[in-house]
């Protein structure tokens, strides 16, 4: 695991360290603590595992063992546009795996990974509770129902176009300022 | 554990009058608010805003209503409710516009555009646009009602009665519908009274195994030397079921009331909801419900003056299927890996941190308030003698009207799938119903007339499990379905038992081989042998039931396995390695380009006479071209084994 912490990550970790001291030092709190951290940081880098272990006075391997047992905890930073493809039963029988494959192909990463620019990440999830719209993919907070391979490209393109637009505007503002 | 103060011991209160007074005041206030709403003649727009509704765009619909209402200066009240179970209709709204003279009307698939249109035409101009309605919510002379539609009329709602009718975030709406009346009543009588009714009702746990709820509570009650805790199991790990979450999102207070009644019956002063952190809306809704109940004094200290204390909290589960199993659930709450341990001792004897622990499913608990309100014998009037009450299924897959359905136990699959849920779309044939998720099985057509209850499903080799039901049509490969579930259980096995950990892996790898045409003579026997060994060699329900999808599909669809092995053929032409798409040149229209643009890998090429062909080397078999081929031509076919697809040469000049 060679995750490189960004400077923002480091600031958050620092803050979390002080929030940690408000939690009672009992093992029952391990999962709630990890959840709190992940909520802020979106993933659990090795530094955090060590920090929690030290605080609860248990071996780091135990913290890591518990964290990896559960699907909720992530060890890679998610992309700015996390893509979740539903592979619940209903989505599976309506070919959700093909949707997943299309995202993987278009972005050149496989599920569980993040693109190098940290723009996109792909994850598979089980039933997101709208099987009537199967197959389903979630991008950011938006659920896209009745997905089709041909919609995949459009979704990614839309994000990229918006990104470029924002970038152009930022540059414009900057050049105006100068 | 520190011993809790035993002031909650005043279990047979003489202060019934105080309870009546306190609850009476709460009830009267809730009633007053309800009347006020009803007497207000401005139109009401009810919108379903649980996860499924939001996914389908209900938030945009709501915004569109709000904006249009304010632009046009129309006064109306938007009422956010939970899920009504009719997921095929999402996003739906019910509009009450009494001044127009029409009864409340149910509109399905109300997009933002439709919302604007309805605001203008119905709310402003009084035309309900009948072409957009599903039906009226009550019988009337003017327009057909939804009750003529068997998706509505054949359901029997006990647990989900208020889902989609009340605002889940407002405790008063629940109380106004007689909510918490069972709780107030119970507090006036000794705890055995609650237990007696639950025992008498024959209520069986809806978490999967169907254990008698009253018996479980009785065992806990006997642990007089221990402190107690009750837990609502809302882990819902089945990858294709969502009813527990929907109930929590739509009517959390009924579950909360059931949990409180359970606590009272066994003498627990602490109650917990175990909800997946991945269900943020359910977590938020239940947290809000708890704090509202605390504020009203319905839970907390000296509840309604009865002297009974009850503390409630939420624990967010971290998403491991096995943590739905009760002993694993307990370990995960203690901060460990959720690996089931041997029972006995049952959690009721020694559970969470050594406390006597009762764990019940969401649906089980939600059935308790109606039972106490109407009595055990009333509950027994629904369902079968051995499985009283209702069953809640999330019916999804290849079915016309998917969603949540609550029906009496003992209704047949045929009624459920064909009458209530509208059968299979696109004139396809029914193939199987997968019931009970990863622990369940696939039941073929022969079982359509079997009544559904706990015991008949087990007899058929499936089980009630979570209550997830996936309807499969003729295009589904049963080997692939079995592989899907094994892939899930293999990943979710906690690894404690060798048979479950390694056995499921071997099962999966055999199934994987079959679906890519590398099956061998003897594979079926191996699958059977391994399945039995895994069942026998596993400690918890996960391993004991993991082979069910394989065993049932082998039992009822053996010929499909044989075709995969002997002929490399997938009869449903669904396994990608064993099938191919091809274009029938006789049907393909010259110059039509529909399939070209939609292909994600540019596998479609133009032939020398301007028709289309598929490059089998490039094709990833996603089926997009088949979807896009205009119905007039319908020129694209799928065939298995793959080598049967006619070969169409790609013209040389284009080949680069
Ligand atoms: C692998 C496995 C997963 C389970 N998942 C759930 C679940 O998600 N929800 C649930 O209520 N019960 C689940 N159960 C059943 C529980 O162990 C337990 O029997 C149930 O919560 C008891 O509640 P009931 O008596 O109301 O059914 C699961 C059992 C096993 C073996
Ligand atoms: S299976 Fe994908 S939403 Fe339910």
Domain check: are B69 and B135 in the same one? yes
Average pLDDT over residues B584-610: 92
Domain check: are A13 and A92 in the same one? no
Q: Which of B346, B380, B414 is the last residue of a domain?
A: B380
What does each C-alpha distance from A104 to A96, A107, B200, B259 come to in angstroms?
A: 13, 5, 55, 44
pLDDT digits (tens, 9 = 90+) for B403-415: 999 999 999 999 9
Domain check: are A127 and A62 in the same one? no
Q: How far is the CA of A130 from the centre of ligand 2 (A)?
A: 5
Average pLDDT over residues B447-460: 91
Q: How far is CA B428 from the centre of its chain?
A: 24
**In this predicted structure, what is the pLDDT of residue A2?**
62
Start-to-end Cα distance in chain A: 42
Share of chain A above pLDDT 70, in %: 99
Categorise residue A22: left if φ over 0, alpha if ψ from -120 to 50, beta otherwise: alpha
Regarding the beta carbon of B360 and ligand 1, being less than 6 Å apart is answered yes
Domain check: are A99 and A154 in the same one? yes
Closest residue by Cα to atom 24, ligand 1, is B205
Cβ A131–B87 below 8 Å, yes or no? yes
**Shortest CA distance to B315 belongs to which of B305, B302, B329?**
B329
Q: Classify residue B628: in a domain, yes or no.
A: yes
Q: Classify residue B385: in a domain, yes or no.
A: no
Domain check: are A62 and A87 in the same one? no
Which atom belonging to ligand 1 lies closest to the Cα atom of B236?
8
Domain check: are B276 and B363 in the same one? yes
Enclosing domain of residue A147? 81-177
Q: Which of A46, A69, A92 is the last residue of a domain?
A: A69
Q: Is the pLDDT of residue B237 over 90?
A: no
Nearest to B277 among A72, A127, A150 (CB): A72
Nearest to B337 among A65, A71, A145 (CB): A65
- B653 pLDDT band (50/70/90 cuts)? low
Regarding the beta carbon of B206 and ligand 1, being less than 6 Å apart is answered yes
Rounded CA-CA distance B585/B589 in Å is: 8
Sheet containing strand B311-317, edge to edge, reads B311-317, B270-276, B228-234, B356-361
pLDDT digits (tens, 9 = 90+) for A103-157: 999 999 999 899 988 899 999 988 887 888 889 999 887 888 889 988 998 999 9
Cβ B336–A129 below 8 Å, yes or no? no
Chain B hits for A101, Cβ within 8 Å: 620, 622
**In this predicted structure, what is the pLDDT of residue B13?**
47
Domain check: are B195 and B314 in the same one? yes
Chain A hits for B90, Cβ within 8 Å: 130, 132-133
Chain B hits for A26, Cβ within 8 Å: 335
Burial of B518 (0-12, 13-18, 19+ CB in 10 A): middle
Domain check: are B289 and B354 in the same one? yes
Q: Is the pLDDT of residue B119 over 60?
A: yes
Which has more pLDDT, B378 or A158? B378
Domain check: are A61 and A111 in the same one? no
Domain check: are B191 and B310 in the same one? yes
DSSP A5: P
- B14 pLDDT band (50/70/90 cuts)? low
Domain check: are B535 and B422 in the same one? yes
The DSSP-derived string for A25-80 is S-GGGHHHHHHHHHHHHSS--HHHHHHHHHHHTS-HHHHHHHHHHSTT--SSPPPS
Domain check: are B235 and B362 in the same one? yes
Whole-complex ipTM? 0.91
Average pLDDT over residues B631-637: 94
Domain check: are A116 and A170 in the same one? yes
Residue B393 in 3-state DSSP?
strand
User: Which CATH number fits the domain that encloses residue A144?
Assistant: 3.40.30.10
Domain check: are B519 and B602 in the same one? no
Cβ B239–A127 below 8 Å, yes or no? yes
From the CB of residue B217, how many other CB atoms can be counted at a distance below 10 Å? 25
Rounded CA-CA distance B491/B505 in Å is: 9
Domain check: are B635 and B557 in the same one? no
Q: Classify residue B135: in a domain, yes or no.
A: yes
> Does B434 touch chain A if contact means CB atoms closer than 8 Å?
yes
Rounded CA-CA distance B243/B241 in Å is: 6
Q: Classify residue B176: in a domain, yes or no.
A: yes
Domain check: are A96 and A162 in the same one? yes
Taking a C-beta distance cutoff of 8 angstroms, is the pair A8, A77 a contact? no
**Shortest CA distance to B272 belongs to which of B334, B210, B321, B201?**
B334
Question: Which B residues in the span 493-512 are in contact with A, Cβ-Cβ below 8 Å?
Answer: 494
What does each C-alpha distance from B504 to B239, B430, B458, B460, B498 come to in angstroms?
A: 17, 29, 21, 22, 9
Q: Which of B380, B401, B416 is the last residue of a domain?
A: B380
Taking a C-beta distance cutoff of 8 angstroms, is the pair B359, B228 a contact? no
Domain check: are A92 and A31 in the same one? no
Element (H, E) at B122: none
Rounded CA-CA distance B268/B255 in Å is: 16
> Does B628 touch chain A if contact means CB atoms closer than 8 Å?
yes
Q: B203: which residues sit within 8 A by CB, 6+ positions away? A: B212, B213, B214, B364, B367, B368, B371, B379, B388, B389
**Shortest CA distance to B249 belongs to which of B271, B280, B222, B219?**
B280
Q: Which of B98, B119, B150 is the last residue of a domain?
A: B150
DSSP B565: I
**Shortest CA distance to A69 belongs to which of B501, B341, B232, B321?**
B321
Q: How far is the CA of B240 from the centre of ligand 1 (A)?
A: 15
Alpha-helical segments (H) within B223-251: 243-250
**In this predicted structure, what is the pLDDT of residue B1?**
40
Domain check: are B181 and B235 in the same one? yes
Enclosing domain of residue B627? 579-655
Rg (CA), chain A: 19
Domain check: are A160 and A96 in the same one? yes
Categorise residue B452: left if φ over 0, alpha if ψ from -120 to 50, beta otherwise: beta
Q: Classify residue A75: in a domain, yes or no.
A: no
Q: Which of A69, A90, A109 is the last residue of a domain?
A: A69
Q: Classify residue A2: in a domain, yes or no.
A: no
Number of domains in chain B: 4
**In this predicted structure, what is the pLDDT of residue A47?**
93
Residue B470 in 3-state DSSP?
strand
Domain check: are A52 and A101 in the same one? no
Q: Classify residue A57: in a domain, yes or no.
A: yes
pLDDT digits (tens, 9 = 90+) for B21-34: 999 999 999 999 99
- B5 pLDDT band (50/70/90 cuts)? very low
**In this predicted structure, what is the pLDDT of residue B209?**
83
Share of chain B above pLDDT 90, in %: 88
pLDDT digits (tens, 9 = 90+) for B367-405: 999 999 999 999 999 999 999 999 999 999 999 999 999
Domain check: are A88 and A145 in the same one? yes
User: Which CATH number fits the domain that encloses residue B511?
Assistant: 3.10.20.600
From the CB of residue B642, how many other CB atoms can be counted at a distance below 10 Å? 23
Task: Tell me the shortest Cα–Cα distance from A177 to chain B, in angstroms.
Answer: 37
Which atom belonging to ligand 1 lies closest to the Cα atom of B328?
17
- B649 pLDDT band (50/70/90 cuts)? confident
Residue count (chain A)? 178
Domain check: are B398 and B536 in the same one? yes
**In this predicted structure, what is the pLDDT of residue B656?**
46
- Interface mutation vs chain B, best among A93, A106, A134, most B CBs within 10 Å: A93
Cβ A32–B240 below 8 Å, yes or no? no
Number of domains in chain A: 2
Beta-ladder partners of B271: B230, B312
**In this predicted structure, what is the pLDDT of residue B93?**
97
User: Which CATH number fits the domain that encloses residue B594?
Assistant: 3.30.70.20
Rounded CA-CA distance B418/B408 in Å is: 16
**Shortest CA distance to A102 belongs to which of A161, A151, A162?**
A151
Domain check: are B340 and B272 in the same one? yes
Chain B hits for A85, Cβ within 8 Å: none
Average pLDDT over residues B189-215: 95
């Amino acid at each position: 695991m060679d995750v490189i912490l960004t400077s923002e990550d480091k600031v958050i970790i620092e803050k979390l360290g002080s929030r940690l001291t408000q939690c009672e030092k009992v093992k029952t709190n391990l999962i709630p603590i990890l959840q709190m951290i992940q909520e802020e940081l979106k993933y659990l880098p090795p530094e955090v595992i060590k920090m929690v272990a030290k605080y609860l006075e248990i071996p780091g391997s135990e913290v890591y063992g518990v964290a990896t047992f559960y699907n909720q905890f992530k060890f890679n930073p998610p992309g700015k546009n996390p893509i979740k493809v539903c592979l619940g039963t209903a989505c599976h029988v309506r070919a959700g795996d093909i949707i997943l494959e299309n995202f993987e192909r278009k972005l050149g990463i496989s599920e569980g990974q993040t693109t190098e620019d940290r723009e996109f990440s792909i994850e598979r999830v089980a039933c997101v509770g709208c099987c009537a719209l199967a197959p389903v993919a979630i991008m950011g907070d938006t659920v896209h129902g009745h997905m089709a391979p041909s919609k995949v490209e459009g979704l990614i393109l839309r994000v990229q176009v918006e990104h470029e637009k924002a970038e152009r505007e930022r540059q414009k503002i900057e050049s105006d300022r100068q | 554990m520190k011993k809790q103060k035993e002031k909650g011991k005043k279990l047979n209160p003489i202060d019934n009058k105080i309870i009546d007074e306190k609850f009476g005041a709460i009830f009267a206030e809730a009633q007053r608010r309800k009347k006020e709403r009803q007497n207000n003649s401005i139109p009401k727009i009810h919108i379903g805003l649980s996860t499924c509704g939001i996914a389908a765009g209900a938030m945009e619909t709501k915004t569109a209503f709000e904006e249009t209402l304010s632009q046009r200066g129309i006064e109306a009240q938007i009422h956010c409710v939970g899920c009504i179970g009719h997921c095929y209709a999402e996003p739906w709204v019910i509009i009450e516009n009494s001044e127009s003279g029409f009864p409340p009307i149910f509109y399905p698939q109300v997009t933002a555009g439709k919302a604007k249109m309805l605001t203008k035409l119905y709310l402003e101009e009084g035309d309900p646009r009948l072409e957009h309605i599903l039906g009226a919510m009550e019988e009337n002379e003017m327009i057909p009602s939804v009750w003529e539609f068997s998706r509505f009329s054949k359901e029997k709602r006990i647990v989900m009665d208020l889902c989609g009718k009340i605002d889940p975030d407002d405790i008063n709406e629940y109380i106004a519908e007689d909510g918490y009346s069972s709780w107030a009543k119970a507090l006036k009588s000794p705890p055995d009274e609650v237990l007696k009714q639950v025992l008498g009702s024959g209520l069986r746990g809806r978490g999967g195994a169907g254990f008698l709820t009253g018996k479980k509570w009785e065992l806990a009650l006997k642990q007089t030397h221990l402190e107690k805790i009750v837990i609502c199991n809302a882990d819902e790990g089945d990858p294709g079921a969502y009813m527990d979450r929907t109930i929590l999102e739509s009517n959390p207070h009924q579950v909360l009331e059931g949990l409180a009644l359970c606590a009272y019956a066994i003498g627990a002063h602490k109650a917990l909801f175990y909800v997946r952190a991945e269900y943020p809306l359910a977590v938020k809704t239940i947290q809000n419900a708890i704090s509202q109940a605390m504020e009203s004094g319905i839970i907390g200290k000296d509840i309604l003056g009865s002297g009974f204390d009850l503390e409630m909290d939420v624990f967010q589960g971290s998403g491991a299927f096995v943590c739905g199993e009760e002993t694993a659930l307990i370990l995960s709450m203690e901060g460990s890996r959720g690996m089931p341990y041997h029972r006995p001792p049952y959690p009721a004897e020694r559970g969470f941190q050594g406390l006597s622990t009762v764990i019940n499913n969401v649906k089980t608990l939600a059935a308790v308030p109606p039972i106490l309100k109407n009595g055990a014998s009333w509950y027994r009037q629904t369902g079968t003698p051995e499985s009283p009450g209702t069953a809640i299924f999330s019916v999804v897959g290849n079915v016309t009207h998917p969603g949540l359905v609550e029906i009496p136990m003992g209704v047949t699959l045929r009624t459920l799938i064909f009458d209530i849920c509208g059968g299979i779309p696109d004139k396809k044939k029914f193939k199987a119903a997968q019931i009970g998720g990863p622990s369940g099985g696939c039941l073929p057509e022969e079982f359509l007339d079997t009544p559904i209850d706990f015991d008949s499903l087990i007899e058929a080799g499936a089980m009630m499990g979570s209550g997830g039901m996936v309807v499969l049509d003729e295009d589904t490969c049963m080997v692939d379905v079995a592989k899907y579930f094994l892939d899930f259980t293999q990943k979710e096995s906690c690894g404690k038992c060798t048979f479950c950990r390694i056995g499921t892996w071997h099962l999966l790898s055999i199934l994987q081989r079959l679906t890519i045409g590398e099956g061998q003579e003897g594979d079926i026997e191996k699958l059977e042998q391994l399945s039995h060994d895994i069942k026998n060699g596993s400690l918890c329900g996960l391993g004991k039931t993991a082979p069910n999808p394989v065993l049932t599909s082998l039992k009822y669809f053996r010929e499909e396995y044989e075709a995969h092995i002997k002929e490399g053929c997938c009869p449903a032409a669904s396994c990608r390695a064993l099938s191919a798409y091809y274009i029938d040149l006789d049907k393909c229209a010259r110059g039509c380009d529909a399939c070209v643009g939609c292909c994600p890998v540019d596998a479609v090429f133009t032939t020398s006479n301007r028709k289309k062909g598929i490059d089998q080397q490039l094709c990833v078999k996603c089926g997009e071209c088949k979807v896009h081929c205009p119905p007039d031509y319908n020129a694209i076919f799928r065939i298995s084994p793959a080598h049967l697809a006619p070969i169409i040469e790609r013209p040389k000049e284009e080949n680069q």
